[in-house]
Amino acid sequence: MEDEGIKSAFEIAMERISGLPRLTPEEIADQKEKELRPIGEAMAKRYMDGLITSDALPRELEKHQGEQGRIVRRALIRSLCRSIDLDDPEAAFTALAGIMLLETEKAGFFYEAGENLRQVIRRFERETEEKSREFAVLAKQRLAGLGISGSAVQPNLDQDENWQRESARMREAYEPRVADLRGKLLRKTD
């Protein structure tokens, strides 16, 4: 029996895509970037979560060679850079240490960057602590005026509008310094 008219699903699919235009080199590169970037980002997350140790991070990256390795590496470093902010100093230094593990030949630059980051975060934390003490005293005075006082009372400054404004002001003052540092790191590693 003749079965020339019967085609497999694969054959049908191939026929259909044969009519599509070929991807340009830019589109191919873009496609590769889209496929490989999440690998680098996931590697960064696992490192930040402690699932990849410092020793293992370069080895994990070495699993990806050539063009693929370059894309994964860039995504990894960019992700680590994004973890450098004022909210979580410990995470910021972990991220910086991770970048240094991957950029051993630029150790001097990263050591200096680390010192700068340490100084900015230390100043921010010191100022936040001093100001929060001042605001806690003011909040306690306001509560005492309402008839609420004593050693059991600790005002929650997060619900204090004045503190929220002051906290935002301090963040606005320090955040650009951290952003500047992030930018320098990205330029150095690109």
Closest CB to another protein among residues 32, 165: 165
Locus of tokens 């900015």: 120
Q: How far is the CB of 158 from another protein (least distance, A)?
A: 8
Closest CB to another protein among residues 1, 152: 152
Q: How far is the CB of 161 from another protein (least distance, A)?
A: 12
CA 186 – CA 117 distance, rounded (Å): 14
Closest CB to another protein among residues 72, 139: 139
Q: How far is the CB of 159 from another protein (least distance, A)?
A: 5
Q: Which two tokens stand for residue 138?
A: 């003011």
Q: How far is the CB of 143 from another protein (least distance, A)?
A: 7
Total of residues contacting another protein (CB under 8 A):
15
CA 147 – CA 20 distance, rounded (Å): 77
Closest CB to another protein among residues 101, 143: 143
**CA angle 158–163–168, rounded 5-degree value:** 95
Mark 54-93 with x for binding to another protein (rule: CB under 8 A) and - for no binding: ----------------------------------------
Q: Which helix (H) or strand (E) holds 172?
A: helix 161-189
**In the range 11-30, which residues lie near another protein by CB under 8 A?**
none
**In the range 105-164, which residues lie near another protein by CB under 8 A?**
143-156, 159
Closest CB to another protein among residues 24, 156: 156
Q: Which two tokens stand for residue 34?
A: 């889209």
Q: How far is the CB of 85 from another protein (least distance, A)?
A: 23
CA 17 – CA 15 distance, rounded (Å): 6
Q: What is the DSSP string of 61-111?
A: HHTS-HHHHHHHHHHHHHHHHHT-SSS-HHHHHHHHHHHHHH-GGGHHHHH
CA 21 – CA 41 distance, rounded (Å): 31
Which residues contact another protein by CB under 8 A?
A: 143-156, 159
